[in-house]
Amino acid sequence: MATVPTATRSSLSPGAEAVATAAPPRRGQRDGDGAQRLAPPFAHGQGSETSLRRRRRQRTLDLADIHRLVASDFHQVNALIPHQLTSEVGLVEDIGEHIVTSGGKRLRPLIVLLTARCCGYDATDHVRLAAIIEFLHTATLLHDDVVDGSALRRGRATANATWGNAPSVLVGDFLYSRAFQLMVTLNRMDVMAILADATNVIAEGEVLQLDNLGNAALTEQAYMEVVRCKTALLFQASAHTAAVLAAETPGVVAAMRDYGLRFGLAYQLVDDWLDYAGDSAVMGKNVGDDLAEGKATLPLIHAMRHGSPADAAAVREALQNRCRSDLGDILAAVKRSGALDYTRSRAQGFAAQARQVLASLPPNIYREALHALADFAVARMR
């Protein structure tokens, strides 16, 4: 059975920490250079703060630039993740590896790393915190796909479509428990309290969304509470815990908590927009999935409140029946109501708020990267 590292940063030098987080040979892998590894988003050490500052003067940092800024940290995160996925139960490894290697931008651990560095943190526990956040997020994905009956995520078959619902749920539970094992090794009750509260609220958000499936009477205010609980809370916890780990002032901690929340709200509303205006190949899921699942997201809520009587009735009926057969008509009704423009405006507003709160952080390249990350969140609406 895999063991969880128990040393804290006070007992490990940075060099020893790197050795402690190196991934051991996995079931079906070879020692040495033959062992498979999760590839980091960017090669270790690629890029530098100087070169990125030069790029920043020339143009806005893109996601590749932002990742490159913390490439060394991400290299360690991507070594720790497979190390902590090892298990004597082969199915745990198979499903765990399937979901963590299925792509994705890893924005939540990215926020952890950027926030810690922005706040001047120079130890190594932020690497473990980033892995914890990614495990929590991955567990929610496994559970979400089962609840939603999803067959496709990030352009690949979901774990539940491949192995079934029960194994997916149980491996999600494994990832939750492994995340909390890692939390213990941080020896930070303040960080653990934030994450424990966040996971509890996220679970409540999942139930709240489930309870409102097919609910054509859902208000925008009630829906935004679902978004806050289900999606934004983990972004909030990512920034919040990293600032706490860096022992920042209460003002900076509050600002980063608010940044994560506003970023998460913007990010989800962009996803809502994409479900009615996006491209399946780009999104990695089918357009109209939310409608087929009976989710009254902001575009539908706005269309039912502000569309013509005929359009509002059509949207309401499709939502209640969870029907995608008339998707073309529903998409047209959503556009006519101005729902896409409204959702875009709301997302841009939350992203602007996220950028504004960064003013209280130390002025450095990492703050610029967090600013650019908020730009990226809404730039997906092309």
CA 343 to chain centroid: 20
Query: Which residue ranges form the domains of the chain, and what is each CATH number?
Result: 58-367 (1.10.600.10)
Averaged pLDDT of the chain: 83
Alpha helices in the chain (DSSP H): 14-20, 49-58, 63-69, 71-84, 90-100, 107-118, 125-148, 159-163, 165-186, 189-211, 220-227, 233-245, 250-277, 280-283, 289-292, 298-306, 309-321, 327-336, 339-357, 365-379
Strand partners, 152: 157
Amino acid in position 98: H
Do 297 and 223 contact (CB within 8 A), yes or no? yes
Compute the Cα dihedral for 237, 119, 368, 179 and give only its sign. negative
Contact 42, 75 (CB under 8 A): no
Is a pLDDT exceeding 90 seen at residue 362? no
| Res 21: pLDDT | 38
DSSP string across 66-84:
HHHHTHHHHHHHHHHHHHH
Structure tokens at 35: 């062992």
Q: What's residue 271's pLDDT? A: 93
Q: How confident is the model at residue 99 (pLDDT cuts 50, 70, 90)?
A: confident
pLDDT of residue 3: 40
Mean pLDDT, range 85-109, rounded to an integer: 86
Structure-model confidence comparison of residues 152 and 3, the more confident one:
152
Reply yes or no on whether the pLDDT at 308 is more than 90: yes
| Spatial distance between the Cα atoms of 361 and 117, rounded to a whole number of angstroms | 11
pTM (global) more than 0.75: yes
pLDDT tens for each residue of 104-158:
789 999 999 999 999 999 999 999 999 999 999 999 988 888 887 777 777 788 8
Q: Token match 């089962």: residue?
A: 146
Long-range contacts of 122-127 (CB under 8 A, 24+ apart): 123/9, 124/9, 124/12, 124/14, 124/17, 124/76, 125/8, 125/9, 125/186, 125/188, 125/245, 126/73, 126/242, 126/245, 126/246, 127/17, 127/21, 127/73, 127/76, 127/77, 127/80
Indicate if the pLDDT at residue 76 is higher than 90. Answer: yes
> Tell me, what's the pLDDT at 319?
95
Q: Tell me how far apart the alpha carbons of residues 100 and 38 are, in angstroms, rounded to a whole number.
A: 9
* Residue-wise pLDDT tens digits, 228-251: 999 999 999 999 999 999 988 999
How far, in Å, CA of 150 to CA of 159, rounded?
Answer: 9
**CA distances to 112, 126, 159, 178, 357 from 191, in Å:** 12, 11, 30, 16, 21
pLDDT at 279: 66
Q: Which is higher by pLDDT, 212 or 325? A: 212
185 within 8 A of 245, measured Cβ to Cβ: no
For 175-200, write each residue's pLDDT tens digit.
999 999 999 999 999 999 999 999 99
